[in-house]
Structure formats: structure tokens, C-alpha cells
Structure 1
Amino acid sequence: MNETLHVSSQFDEDLARLRTHVLQMGGVVETQISAAIEAYSSGEVASVKTIVETDRRINQLERSIDEDCAHIIAQRQPAASDLRLVLGISKIVTDLERTGDEAKKIAKSVRRIYEAGHQPTQYGIGIRHLAEAVLALVRRSLDAFARQDAAQAIEVIRADQDVDLEFKSIIRQLITHMMEDPRTITTSLEIMAISRAIERIGDHAKNICEQVIYVVEGRDIRHDKEAIK
């Protein structure tokens, strides 16, 4: 193998390793979201400590991947699609880290609700349905990244619009609860915070998919609503 091919092979290995690390980080984030959703339904507030500790691991993964991206740019000087991949990954891991933050917020709100002696599931609103829909978006966004599938990325972006509508419906229901019974205000505000965090996770899944489209097609659709119609 001549030196050029050897360097090229090493570069391909670097990029493959970088993609693998992103997916590993995504897997940790998925687990964290699932744990937060389960805590909401079950009241197992002991899991909150684990979720918070997992968030620290996610932060470490973000820093490590960012360092890898900087190293590749400095050492390999990638161009065209390879450069887009590295730049896209640097933004995707930021969204994954922020997703982890939102899962931590959910878990802490859940703990406050149950420790106050309340049962959020008694409110009869679709928090769990919303959360499971958003978790599916996160999984599909990571799958779109793994497959470099721009078409699937577009589908996820469109599906996030349904999440936004469902979120607004939940907020209206909570406002009604508070108006009808002021004793529910404290818990309703916590559930609002939970639903807002879930909605933000959907936004981060959408952002990941916008980066997938940028990596695959070279198009920046972040502020182009016409691109997803």
C-alpha cells in the first residue's frame, strides 16, 4: 500500500470511529430519556440520581467527540462531504448533550412531584404519549444519521410538527386544571415544565435531522420551511 492510500485508509477509519462514537452517545441519551419517562409513570424517584449521573457521562462524551472533530480538521484537513460530516457531527453532539439536559430536567420535576405526595399520572393528560412519540423521533433521527438517509430525516422534521401541536394541547389542559382547581397549580406547573422539556427534545431531534440533510446533500434547511413541504 502506498503512503497516499495508507493515509486515506486511516482517515476513513477516523471518520468511521467518529460516527460510531456519535451513535454510542445517542444510545446513552435514548436510555436517559426512557428512564425519565418511566420515572414519570412509576414514581421510582430513586432513578433520578442515576439519570443525573448519566448526564455527566453525556457531557464527557460531547467533549471527547468535539476534541476528535477538532483533531480531524487540524490533522486531516477534510474537504467537501468529509468536512460536512465533521461539522455536522460537531453540531449533532451539541443537540444530543442538550437532549440529555432536558431528560435531567424531566427527572428532577418528577422527583419534586412525587416527593410532594402527588401523582402526575392522575391528571389524565397525554404526557407519556407525547414522550414516547418524541423518543421515537430521537431514535429515527439517529437512524437517519447512521444510514445517512436524508429522506427519513425529512420525515422526522415533519413529524416534529405533530409533537408541537400535542404539546400545545397539553398546556391548554393544564391551564384548565389550574383554573378549575387552584390546588393543582404547583403540580400543573411541574407537569408544564416536563412537557416543555419533552417538546424541546423533539426540537433537538429535528435539529439533528437538519444536520443529516446538510451532511448528505449539502443543503442548509434550518431556516427554510419550504424545504420540508
Structure 2
Amino acid sequence: MREQYHKQLEILHTELILMGALCEDAIVSAVKGLLNGEAALREKAIGLEKEIDMKERDIEAICVKLLLREQPVAGDLRQITAAQRMITDMERIGDQAEDIAELAGFIAEHGDLDPVGSLHIGDMAWEASRMLTASVDSFVEADLAKAKNVILSDDIVDSLFIKIKGELIDYIAQNPGNGETSLDFLMIAKYLERIGDHAVNIAEWVVYSITGSRRIPD
């Protein structure tokens, strides 16, 4: 019985890694579509959102099967509960990557891409993606230190958001006619900040799966 359970758990881990990879691909495609003005990348990010939704349903089915067949307790139950919470955050990350791609498309058609080169949006996207990947890895590896590092990394994403906001304020002061585009850029940065928050949520569920509490260990 335990051997079968562990096989199902390995499948769950594999599916979580695949869902995390889809989310990372969506983030990267959306932001590259913005930075490079490539419509194909923006469309890819939008299409990936549907794949992420499907993956969420597949993983939820695995979790339900594990709960019904194995009736896990204690640490095993926490692992499955954490996985169910994690995929909710990853699904929302997919939604936000889609939102970024749609805003990037609007900017490409109606806005001014001049400020994008001076912004730290690429750095912010890279950090948020790194946090997401590390949070999923920390679950699969049951690595408490890695999960804690993701939680602490949230300060980096927050500081980049503040930096971008300051850059946009300076840009608006010099280009008052491009205020609407600047607000779109600010919204994209806000979506990236939320993606970082979701990565933190995932890491906190990893902490819970290992310790029984979402509180960051000392």
C-alpha cells in the first residue's frame, strides 16, 4: 500500500514541476513579448494560461484520488493539502502572466515603448520566476531552507517594484503626454509583484507540509 502511495506521490511531484514550468514559461513569454515587442510571445503566454488551468484540474484529481484511496494522516495529509493550495497560487500566476501579455499587446499597439529600456521589469520578472521555481522545488525536495529563502526573497521583488515606480514617475515628469502608457507599465510591475507574493504563498505551504505551521522557522 505504501509503495503505491509513494508512486502516486512521485506522479504528483512531477505534475507540480510541470505546472511550475508552464507558469515560468508564461511569465517569461509575456515579459519578453513586452520587452521585444514580439506578438508571438505574447500570444504564447495567453495560450499557456489555458494549459495551466488544465494542469490544475489534473493535479487536483490526483490529490482527491490520494485522499480517497490512501486516507493519509499527519505529514502525508499535509503534503496533499499543501499541493492543493499550491496549484491555486500557480493558477493565479498563469492568470497574471496572461494579464501582462494582454497589457503588453495594448502598449505595442497604442503606447510608447520608449521607457521600457530604462525600467527594471526584466529584472523583476527574472526574480519572480526564480522564486516560483525554487518554491516548487522546495516542495518536491522537502527543503525547508530553500522555502525559507523564497520567502525572504520577497523583499527583492518589492524593492524592484518601488524602483520601477520611481522610474515611471521620472518618465512621466519628462513625458507628460505618455501617462496612460506609464500606468500600464506600472500595472505590469504590480502583476509581477503579485506573482512574487504567490511564490511566497507556495513556499509557506511547503513550510506547512514539513512543520505543520506556515510560520517561518527561525
**TM value normalised by structure 2:** 0.94
Per the alignment, do residues 91 and 21 of structure 1 end up closer, same or farther by CA in structure 2, a change over 3 Å counting? Answer: same
Residue equivalent to 2:34: 40
User: How many angstroms apart in 2 are the aligned matches of 1:200 and 1:39?
Assistant: 19
Residue by residue, what CA displacement relative to the aligned partner does 1:141-165 show, whole Å, maximum 9, x if unpaired?
A: 1221221101111111111112112
Q: Secondary structure at the match of 2:38?
A: coil
2:94 alignment partner, one of 100, 110, 117 = 100
The answer for the alignment partner of 1:57 in structure 2 is: 51
Change (3 A) 1:171 1:76: same
Letter in 2 for 1:95: D
Aligned counterpart for 1:83 among listed residues 68, 77, 83: 77
Counterpart of 1:178 in structure 2 is 172
Q: Shift of the alpha carbon at 1:117?
A: 5.0
Indicate the residue corresponding to 2:154 in structure 1: 160
Deviation by residue 1:20-47 (Cα, 9 ceiling, x = unmatched): 1111111111111111121121100232
Please report how far the alpha carbon of residue 173 of structure 1 lies from its aligned counterpart in structure 2 after TM superposition: 2.5
Structure 1 residue 180, shift from structure 2 partner: 4.1
Superposition pairs of residues 110-149 of structure 1, within 5 angstroms: 110-116=104-110, 118-122=112-116, 124-149=118-143
Q: What's the CA shift for 1:49?
A: 2.0
- Unmatched 5+ residue regions in structure 1? 1-6, 222-226
Percent identical? 32
Query: How far apart in 1 are the matches of 2:111 and 2:146?
Result: 43
Q: What is the alpha-carbon distance in structure 1 between the residues aligned to residue 105 and residue 202 of structure 2?
A: 29
Deviations 1:113-169 (A, max 9, x none): 111152155461211111111111112112212211011111111111121122122
Distance 1:117 1:178, change over 3 A: closer
The farther-off stretch of 122-131 and 68-77 is 122-131
1:88-116 CA-to-partner distances (Å, cap 9, x unmatched) read 00001111111111111111111111111
Larger mean CA deviation between 80-89 and 120-129 belongs to: 120-129
Distance in 1 between the 2:116 and 2:64 partners?
A: 49
- Secondary structure at the residue paired with 2:112? coil
- Cα separation, partners in 2 of 1:172 and 1:121, compared to 1, 3 Å: closer
2:194 corresponding residue in structure 1: 200
> TM-score scaled by structure 1?
0.89
Whether contact under 8 Å (2:32, 2:41) holds in the other structure is no
- Does residue 188 of the first structure (1) align with residue 209 of the second (2)? no
Q: 1:194 to 1:158 in 2, by over 3 A?
A: same
Equivalent position of 1:14 in the other structure? 8
Equivalenced residues, count? 218
Distance 1:153 1:135 in 2: 14
- Gaps of at least 5 residues in structure 2 are none
Name which of structure 1's ranges 173-182 and 93-102 shifts more when overlaid on structure 2. Answer: 173-182
Instruction: Report the alpha carbon displacement of residue 176 of structure 1 after superposing the two structures with TM.
Output: 3.5
Which amino acid is the alignment partner of residue 130 of structure 2?
Answer: A
